[in-house]
Amino acid sequence: MQRKELRALKRIYATPTMRRIAQDNKLDKPIVYKYSWHKYTYSTKYDMMLRCQSRGSILMIAVFFPDDVAKGFKYPVYEIYCNPKGCEYITRERNPEDGKEIRWTNALVFNLERIDTIRFFDYEPDLKIRKRTIWQNNDGKKEIKQFLGTNMSGLEGLIEYQHRCKLYSIKKAEEKEQEPWDEELALTPPVLKGFERWSKHEAMNENFIFYESIHSPTGYCSYCEKEVPLIKPKRNGEGKCPCCHKKITFKLRSKIKGLRTRAISTSCIQRIEGGYVVRTFEVHSAYRNATYDKPDWSFIEYQRTFMYSDGRITTYEYETYKNKYLRFCKQESKLPYEYYNRKIKLYPRNLSLLKKSVLRNSAIDLWPILPYSPAKYLYVEKGNPAIEMLAKIKLFGLAKEIIKTGYDKNLLNQDETELAKMLKIDNARLKRLKNMTPTLVTLKWMQYEKLANTIWPDDMISEFGQNEIEVSELNFLPKPIKYMKVYNYIRRQQILSGETFKQTFITYRDYYCLAERNKWNIASTQISMPKNLEQAHMNAILFSRGTSIKNQTEKLEKEWPLCNKILPDLKKYECSNNEYSVVAPVCIEDMVREGIALNHCMDHADFYYDRIQQREAYPFFLRKTNQKDMPWYTLEVEASGNIRQKRTTGDNQNPDLEPAIPFLYEFMEHFKQVMNAEEIKQGIKADKKRKEEYKKLREEQKKVWHGKLAGQLLADVLEADFMQTI
């Protein structure tokens, strides 16, 4: 319907009869309706007045309101134009006083501003009573029903028609959206012969032998699909089929009701016009009512990814379309969603044929286990030729790491066509790399070796690479660094200490930095590389704390002058029962004594004192009630009352803390009960700051360098130690 043509149609105006009825619209006595806790009061007979006339193929419905008509306004507020042949409608809103056009809208009649509040759309009164509040002559009601082809008449007929139009327009929009999908999905060829059987047998992880009793001479093998000799079966025990030699589980036939295998995913790649499609299926079997020889197989396709030679990629998932029905729906992401912990097994039997055409430049057939889904692997491999080349020389570990890190121009040179040059090394080093189990760090050591124009032993490069110790991590040493000498020293100390190579390296780095901070003569080999690293490391720690408690306290008091003013206020949070007590320090000296006694960092780590001054977190001492003077555990309590850390000797947490956990929850409850309004605000601020700190630590991938938790992410350790009340 064209608005220009609709404006040219003959108008409908209010009649004298309508004006007379509108002027006499008041009820003698208002009607009151109660519905639930609502109360409705009506003092008029009619809420709305309708007139309708046909204009060729258009039905024109004029909507008036009694208040406007009573004032002598002849123009309708709304003009609704209905075209049954086109299954469409549109509404023009006008000013009832002068008839000027305000706007056009496609809103349903009960969503129009002045209509949605009338009592016709209230839950109460009864529908029959509500119908009487709409004035329209009987001929007009019948015309709406007849012209629009509805079951209802009058306003109800108009509502029915508009709903029909809405459903029709939605259907047309959905068909328009789905049309290109169906065209592309139609390119999918039939399922490969043998793929379904391969998925149900070769790809399945679970096979069974079903037996009648332990005295039966034979049992039914789910893989062989026949009776096989039975050898010492044990219900739910594992064994091997004497025929197919597959690993099986013994199942008693009378006890298999409800037996169902775990679902697995299998994929096949099929050629299509201009490219190929990767199809993924979910497969499982169910044995119900002892039907051991006729399982219910489920073989359902849930994903298709179309990949074209021009680089276009489209993915479809079998899912509910707009909560209506199941079908393949196009996804916003061009690559398929990677389901958590779901490995996809690729059908290998047609890959040799595909290698001659669409997969001629891929090494997908060489991988024993793909690092990603086949579609994602093919996409990543196409953008990074080094992956294909590494797979062809069986360096799958290095290829997998490159896939997961993405293309790095500092690591690879994509402009080269030879693998060695692409990896920024030479052929001799590539040959050495093949004889190792290389990682990305191994490759970086090789690249640095080439830049340094030297040759280092393969054992050294391999050890640093396997332990993810990059060249830059040795920069704490003075230049020029003698890497071979450092490697040999760490290997010797590893044997002496019994620690891992990585942990020994961390200990050495920590020792060297402490020795440098202590202003020791690290130019001397006796100092920089002590005979017993573990003992030297401990001596360095003790030396760094060698100043007297008084000197250390004075130093901290000078640096953090507000701490001694804040700490006495913590006394109100102290808590105790028959077994445990939480004691608050009253000065910095108490904290220094605690740190030295328990050999952790409270006596020298600046961040504890900074958090006190910022009123973000406070120290408390967990003691046994009968030994309040003996240091046991140190707590760091957030200003919100939650416990951030709890540490004892050597910054550890031992099993003896477990019985005290319920008491710590009592302490946190007590802490929150005695907080004032200002302290509550500080707690909210501290909680927000802690979350931001954890997020930053996780982004920076910072790790714990020594102790029992060495190698773990610092954010994980802190979050695991965090305690809060509900």
What does each C-alpha distance from 445 to 131, 401, 608 come to in angstroms?
86, 15, 39
Pair 112, 247 in one domain: no
The per-residue pLDDT for 482 is 93
- Cα-only R_g, the chain: 40
Structural domain contains residue 440:
yes
Q: What is the mean pLDDT of residues 563-575?
A: 93
Please check whether residues 510 and 580 belong to one and the same domain: no
Does position 8 have pLDDT exceeding 90, yes or no?
yes
CA 655 to chain centre: 34
One domain, residues 451 and 534: no
Residue 327's pLDDT is: 95
* Of 128 and 264, the one with more pLDDT: 264
Q: Are residues 218 and 315 in the same domain?
A: yes
User: Do 436 and 461 meet the contact criterion of CB atoms below 8 Å apart?
Assistant: yes
Q: Is the pLDDT confidence value at 644 over 70?
A: yes
Which tops the pLDDT comparison, 101 or 593? Answer: 101
Whether 94 is covered by a domain: the verdict is: yes
Query: Does residue 279 belong to any structural domain of this protein?
Result: yes
Asked if residue 175 belongs to a domain, the reply is no
Is it the case that residue 319 has pLDDT exceeding 90? yes
Lowest mean pLDDT among 118-122, 480-484, 628-632: 118-122
Q: Give CA–CA dist 41/50, Å, rounded.
A: 23
What does the longest C-alpha to C-alpha distance in the chain come to?
Answer: 116
pLDDT confidence of residue 461: 94
In the listed set 167, 187, 212, which residue is the last one of a domain according to the structure?
Answer: 167
In the predicted model, what is the mean pLDDT of residues 294-322? 93
Q: Select the more confidently predicted residue: 273 or 523.
A: 273
Residue 221 has pLDDT above 80, yes or no: yes
Q: Which of 613, 636, 618 has the alpha carbon at shortest distance from 560?
A: 613
Mean pLDDT of the chain: 88
Average confidence (pLDDT) over 231-256 = 89
Amino acid 650: pLDDT? 64
- Token representation of residue 634: 């140190």
pLDDT grade, residue 110 (50/70/90)? confident
Per-residue pLDDT, averaged over 248-259, amounts to: 88
What is the spatial distance between Cα 540 and Cα 536, in angstroms, rounded to a whole number?
6
* Rounded distance between C-alpha atoms, residue 283 and residue 628, angstroms: 63
Same domain for 469 and 490? Answer: no
Tens digits of residue pLDDT in 320-337: 999 999 999 999 988 887
- Cβ neighbours for 406, distance < 8 A, ≥ 6 positions apart: none
Domain match, 121 and 252 both: no
362 or 410, greater pLDDT: 362
Residue 119: pLDDT above 70? Answer: no
Model pLDDT, residue 124: 55
- 271 and 331, same domain (yes or no): yes
pLDDT of residue 601: 76
Task: Please compute the mean of the pLDDT values over residues 239-267 and round it to a whole number.
Answer: 90
Q: For residues 608 and 635, state if they share a domain.
A: yes
Instruction: Specify the pLDDT at position 708.
Output: 60
Give me the pLDDT at residue 607, please: 80
Same domain as 695, residue 625? yes
Per-residue pLDDT reduced to its tens digit, 61-98: 999 999 999 999 999 999 999 999 999 999 999 999 99
Sign for the pseudo-dihedral over CA of 315, 319, 323, 324: positive
> Helices in 637-724 by DSSP H: which ranges?
661-673, 677-699, 714-721
Q: Which of 67-76, 594-603, 631-640 has the lowest mean pLDDT?
A: 594-603
Q: Per the domain annotation, does 549 fall within a domain?
A: no
Examine residue 41 and state whether it is found in any structural domain, yes or no. yes
61 and 121 share one domain: yes
Residue 189, pLDDT > 60, answer yes
377 bridge partner residues: none
Residue at which a domain ends, from 114, 149, 167: 167
Q: Say if residue 182's pLDDT is above 90.
A: yes
Per-residue pLDDT, averaged over 671-682, amounts to 90
Domain boundary among 474, 509, 526: 474
Which structural domain range is residue 82 located in?
3-167
The answer on pLDDT for 628 being more than 80 is yes
Instruction: Give pLDDT, residue 47.
Output: 87
Domains contained in the chain, number? 5
Average of per-residue pLDDT across 181-198: 94
d(CA 324, CA 25): 46
With 60 as the cut, is the pLDDT of residue 707 above it? no
pLDDT at 88: 94
Query: Is the pLDDT higher at 491 or at 42?
Result: 491
pLDDT confidence of residue 40: 74
The three-state DSSP-derived secondary structure of 402-460 is: HHHHCCCCCCCCCCCCCHHHHCCCCHHHHHHHHCCCCCHHHHHHHHHHHHHCCCCCHHH
What pLDDT sits at residue 725?
Answer: 72
Residue 557 resides in a domain:
no
CA gap 69, 428 in Å, rounded = 98
Q: What is the pLDDT of residue 371?
A: 87
Residue 125 pLDDT level (bands cut at 50, 70, 90): low
Whether 340 shows a pLDDT value over 70: the answer reads no
pLDDT at residue number 404: 81
Residue 597: per-residue pLDDT: 64
pLDDT category of residue 595 using cuts at 50, 70 and 90: confident
The reply to whether 469 and 487 lie within a common domain is no
Please give the residue that has the higher pLDDT: either 205 or 664. Answer: 664
228 and 320 co-located in one domain: yes
Range among 270-279, 402-411, 521-530 rated most confident: 270-279
- Provide the 8-state DSSP code for 62: E
296-305 mean pLDDT: 93
pLDDT tens digits, 208-219: 999 988 888 999
Q: b/e per residue, 214-247, with b = 16+ CB within 10 A?
A: eeeeebbbbbbeebbebeebeeeeebebeebebe
pTM over 0.85: no
* CA pair distance 160, 227, nearest whole angstrom: 65
Token reading at 49:
């007045």
Residue 271 is assigned to a structural domain of this protein = yes
How confident is the model at residue 711, as a pLDDT? 60
Confidence check: pLDDT of 450 > 70: yes
* Residue 149 pLDDT exceeds 90: yes
